Structure 1
Amino acid sequence: MKNVIPQDIAEVLDKLSGSGYEAWCVGGCVRDMLLGADPQDWDVTTSALPEQVERIFPGRTIPTGVKHGTVTVLSGVRGIEVTTFRRDGAYLDGRHPEQVTFTASLREDLARRDFTVNAMAMGVDGTIVDCWGGREDLSRGILRCVGEADRRFEEDALRIMRALRFAAVLGFTIEQETSDSLRRSRQRLRAIAAERIYAEFTKLICGKHMAPILREYPDVLAVFLPEIAPMVGFDQRNPHHCYDLWEHTIRAMEAVPPEAVLRYTMLLHDVGKVKSFTVDEKGVGHFYGHPQLSREMGDAIARRLKMDNERRELILTLVEWHDRVIPRTEKGVARALRKLGEERFRLLIQVKRADNLAQASQVFQKEIDRLEEIWANLAAQSRCFSLRQLAVNGRDLMELGYRGEEIGRELERLLDLVVDGAKANDRRELLDIARRRKGGAKGSTF
């Protein structure tokens, strides 16, 4: 256990307690310290009212949520949220209490929290207050609601996603009643803002233990991702696949690093298979056109989740390319690098490898190895794949008389020549080609 409270946090606790009030670190920071991890966020709860906190720290407070008892105290390089002990009133919007009642009881404050492992407090001297068995649940790796699970999820439906996220990140088992309750309550997720769902789901799929959660709770996830429901148990009827479509997807997600772009790519790469499924006369399943359909469906999903444009376009490009055959030749790899760029090509290699690792046969790994080998050879030769690397630029073409859009078109033509190996990336030679083309020389250089 790490029970060393940072100096600036300890200062806040000491000043509050020195002024006659209780003051405790609370919530996730206590959980993380007991797990031996370094907390990313520190929250303080106190018996002092907001106006009393402001008097104790004159000129160092921001009234960030006085209605709910929260004042941010500026200490060192960060702000520390200090919240008065409280009881929550009714949650009419399924996210926030309409009103709160301040209380002098730490126990009452801890009783309103979501899970037992988040309902512990720690004093500046390391004393732990644990009214709900959170420490035992933490040691056993169990996630359990504080009090009645149905009530906790009724108060704040985002707790459903938080439960799944904590289990995926920490590797915890969701206690049976909590599990049953979040299933019963899953339709409440429809009232939660897409941005909040997206934030929690992204953390979930990047968790080290995300696979068991995806296997166990597809019905919950399908509330905001209905496209995955038909994937569960879907027999692909193809010799390349020994898993149903959802299991293949999960295994492909496991096979990439825990980075959001790669995890979302593998989640979406085959989402179009159900709609594109056909069976031939031999009873073999096929999915003609599924990469493009997966891109289209993935686009709808990403927009629904309010994913930012840059990430969305990168993921959709990888989805569209995941099943595309890249010739294992210098020209084939160079052309792919030309279209994708080196960073997206690097990601695509990881996507292709993960897709194959989640199939019945892994013979394609050697083909992927060959693509990487060719790429390395091209890089060693300092081969040109992009306009940035081309030996001529727009200013050069302007001096030859090119104007407006024709500059871009000519640069693209010259780049194609270089990428295909028809011409060297030689400034003099490329300028000569562009000069003759602009001058209307007879005969084509292409």
Structure 2
Amino acid sequence: MNIPEPVKRILKALEEHGHEAHCVGGCVRDSLLGREPGDWDVATSALPEETMALFSGRAAPTGLRHGTVTVREGGLSVEVTTFRTDGKYTDRRRPDTVAFTRSLRDDLSRRDFTVNAMGMDLRGTLTDPFGGREDLRNKLLRCVGLPEERFQEDALRILRGLRLAAVLDFSVEEETARALRACRKLLCDVAAERIQIELTKLLCGPAAAEVLREFPEVAGTVVPELLPMVGFDQHSRYHCYDVWEHTLHALSEVPAEPILRWAVLLHDVAKPRCYTRDERGGHFYGHPTVSAEMTDAILRRLKFDNATREAVVTLVLWHDREIPRTEKSIRRALRKLGAERLRQLTEVKRADNLGQAPAYRARLKDVEQIQRMMEDLLARDECVSLRQLAVNGQDMLALGLRGSEIGAALEELLSAVVDGDLPNQRSALLHAAEGRADRQKETKHQNF
């Protein structure tokens, strides 16, 4: 394991003062998998006050109640926590009390999964009392001890388990999987913000579709709107999968970015509500609009920031909207959505089509053509926004327009440019604006 030098110095300082010290948790797991750890955690026999004294000036008491001191070393912030055992978890999130111990094994035994219950010292010696390394080799996620006890202690571990399985592409051990399902209702007591974070990481994992396919009832506990999609036959020649399977296939085809993954997960969430059937098969009239409304409610409930929520809702609303492959239509789409959102929309459309019946995937060529035409328009710096317009508010002010008239005039000019009715040239735009200003003056005079 390649321990960063700042972390090595912390381990060495603790050992030199007579304390045990080990890297623990996710950093050990990721290092053994050849992944770059996101952060580094150290467990030690030193009491919090001893750690504070040893790293005086570089240590902050960020969690003394639970034995945690954050040490700044070489540009890194490293959480150094005293070996401990946990008391009861009455809030199913954090232990009510902790007891410090001198045993690393005792400390590791309170952790969630075997792959997170390993320690490694300065010399690379691995402490692995629960078979975490073997589970890593077998790509298996298993709880430490009794799974139901682990989940009853901290209900968020249920989603964390699914997230790890999705991110690491691991299978879930049989007893752990059974307990995940049996304890899923405990998630109702977990804060929405924490659920949002874990679900987003899960969705962006390479095995997200496989995990959601295996545990839809768990995901449906926190997003119940997903459950009607499971097994819902579309009775459509365009679809060889039910709504849930179509969604999961599409999810695997879109880049692992939070906005895109959430948009694909929810793009057809309203189909069960909008379903009708006649002699031609199943139909879902109006489902993009209803899906967008449901998506907005779901993301608000999960406490998403406004920018992310609005982006996802827009993509869901537009996912089934036809964009003719003409420069005028693409300029209009760029005007309404902007370059970033239209690029995202083409990714969603592409993934949506890849989740349909193979005979109806010809639309992929249409999406690719839209992408090419859009990039060509952008490379030519075609005017699709007020920022690119050759005139501005000051020009309108000089023509005698005031207040809301200015914005209305600029929007009218931009529409004319986007539609190809006017060139984006200052003289042509000013001439058109003068005519508008004259009409405004004449109207005011008549009303007077």
Q: Deviations over 1:327-377 (max 9, x none)?
A: 222211111111111111111111111111110120111222332233244
Q: Deviations over 1:394-444 (max 9, x none)?
A: 11111111111111110000000000001111100101111121122899x
> In structure 1, what is the equivalent of residue 288 of structure 2?
291
Q: Is the 8 A contact 1:249 1:266 kept in 2?
A: yes
Alignment map for 1:187-336 (pairs within 5 Å): 187-280=185-278, 282-336=279-333
1:347 aligns with 2:352: no
Residue of 330, 335, 339 corresponding to 1:338? 335
TM-score (norm 2): 0.96
Q: Is the 8 A contact 2:409 2:436 kept in 1?
A: no
> In structure 2, what is the equivalent of residue 404 of structure 1?
403
> In structure 1, what is the equivalent of residue 421 of structure 2?
422
TM-score (norm 1): 0.97
> In structure 1, what is the equivalent of residue 446 of structure 2?
none
Q: Is the 8 A contact 1:16 1:23 kept in 2?
A: yes
Residue identity opposite 1:106 in structure 2: L
Q: Deviations over 1:269-297 (max 9, x none)?
A: 111111010012x1511111000000000
Q: Deviations over 1:159-198 (max 9, x none)?
A: 0011101100001111000000111100000000010011
Specify the SS of the correspondent of 1:359: coil
Q: Deviations over 1:239-294 (max 9, x none)?
A: 101100000001111111000010000011111111010012x1511111000000
Identity %: 56
> In structure 1, what is the equivalent of residue 412 of structure 2?
413
Worse overlay, 363-372 or 324-333: 363-372
1:384 aligns with 2:383: yes
Residue identity opposite 1:340 in structure 2: L
Q: Deviations over 1:8-56 (max 9, x none)?
A: 1111111111001111111111111111112111001111101111111
Specify the SS of the correspondent of 2:391: coil
Alignment map for 1:14-163 (pairs within 5 Å): 14-163=12-161
Using the alignment, how far apart are the partners of 2:88 and 2:373 within structure 1?
63
Residue identity opposite 2:311 in structure 1: L
Using the alignment, how far apart are the partners of 1:47 and 1:381 within structure 2?
64
How many residue pairs get aligned? The number is: 440
Using the alignment, how far apart are the partners of 2:168 and 2:259 within structure 1?
21
Residue identity opposite 2:147 in structure 1: A
Using the alignment, how far apart are the partners of 1:438 and 1:82 within structure 2?
69
Shift in alpha-carbon separation, 1:380–1:121, aligned structure 2, 3 A: closer
Q: Deviations over 1:75-127 (max 9, x none)?
A: 12122111111110000000000000011111101100000010000000000
Shift of 1:147: 0.6
Using the alignment, how far apart are the partners of 1:369 and 1:87 within structure 2?
57
Shift of 1:311: 0.5
> In structure 1, what is the equivalent of residue 433 of structure 2?
434
Structure 1 spans left out of the alignment, 5+ residues: none
Shift of 1:216: 0.4
Using the alignment, how far apart are the partners of 1:322 and 1:337 within structure 2?
15
RMSD of equivalent CA atoms: 1.3
> In structure 2, what is the equivalent of residue 6 of structure 1?
4
Q: Is the 8 A contact 1:237 1:283 kept in 2?
A: no
